[in-house]
Amino acid sequence: MKGKITDIQGTFTLHNGVKMPYLGLGTYQAENNQEVIDSVKYALEIGYRHIDTASIYQNEEGVGTGIKESSVPREDIFLVTKVWNADQGYDSTLKSFEDSIKRLQVDYLDLLLVHWPVKEKYKDTWRALEYLYEHKKVRAIGVSNFLQHHLEDLMTDCKIVPMVNQMEFHPYVVQQELIDFCDKNTIQYEAWSPFMQGKVFNLDICKKLAAKYNKSIAQIILRWDLQKGVVTIPKSVHRNRIESNADIFDFELSQEDVAYLDSLDRGERIGPHPDHFDF
C-alpha cells in the first residue's frame, strides 16, 4: 500500500518526487474528434487530473483540445503520452516527442513512456527520454510493457531508472513478481486494460464482490488496483461511466478479497505478450 487512497485527485509519489494521480482517464480507441474532446472535458470537470494518450492512438489533437477547452489550468493536469515502436531510436524519439507536444498543444509533458520494448532500439529510445528529462521537457519518464528482463537490461547502463512501468493488469494477469521487482526498484506500477476489455464483467467472483460491497464490478476492480498501489487509467467516453469509475473512495476491499482477486492470475493476456509482439 502506497499511502492512503483518499480521493479522485490523490497521488502516488514517483522516485523523483513528482506526484502522479493514481486514477486517470485512458483514451485508447477514443475517436480523434468531439468524442475524445468531450471525454477529456467530462473527466476534468468531474475532478480527474490525469489524462493518458499515445501517438499511436491518433487522438493527441483531440486530447489537447479537450484540455484547452476545459477550465482546468495545464499545470494542474498530469498529461501522459507514449513513443510508438516505429519512432523508436534516439533521433526519431526526439522528433516523435516534438510532434506529440505540437499535436497536444502543450510545451511539456508530465510523463513520457516507451510504448513497447522494441529489440535493439529501446535503449537508444531511453537515452532520448533521459535527454528530454534532463532538459526539463518532461517531468517524468517511464516504460510500458517491459517485463523484468527488459527492465534489468535497461538498468544495466541507464542513467535514470524508469519512474513508471505501465502494464496489462487485471485479475487474469497480475504478475505479482514483476510488481514486487518494480516496488523494490521504486518503479511505479500502472495498469492498462483493467477491465480485460470488458471480460471482467462476466467473472462470477467479481459479480459476488460487487453484490457484497454494493458497488459495480468496475468500481471493485479499480479499488483493487489502487489498494495494490497500482495507478489505473480506465477508458470511457461516456460521462456517466467516467463519473462512476471515480466513485471508489467511500469503501475499501478487505485484505482477503484483495488476495482472492490476486489468486485469479492465470497469465491470460488480452493484449500481446511483451516478448512476442510483431508491430
Catalytic positions are: 57
Which three cell numbers mark 216? 459495480
Given the DSSP bridges, would you call strands 231-232 and 188-192 parallel, antiparallel or unpaired?
parallel
List the one residue out of 268, 22, 54 whose CA is nearest residue 164.
22
Which three cell numbers mark 189? 506500477
Per DSSP, the residues of 51-83 read: EE--GGGT-HHHHHHHHHHSSS-GGG-EEEEEE
Query: Terminus-to-terminus CA distance in the chain, angstroms?
Result: 35
CA distance 254 to 247: 18
Residues making up the chain, counted from first to last? 279
Exposure string over 147-179, b if 16+ CB within 10 A, otherwise e? beebbeebeeebebebbbbbbbbbbbbbbeebb
By three-state DSSP, how is residue 114 classified?
Answer: strand
Cα–Cα distances (Å) from 268 to 71, 118, 128, in that order, read 41, 22, 33
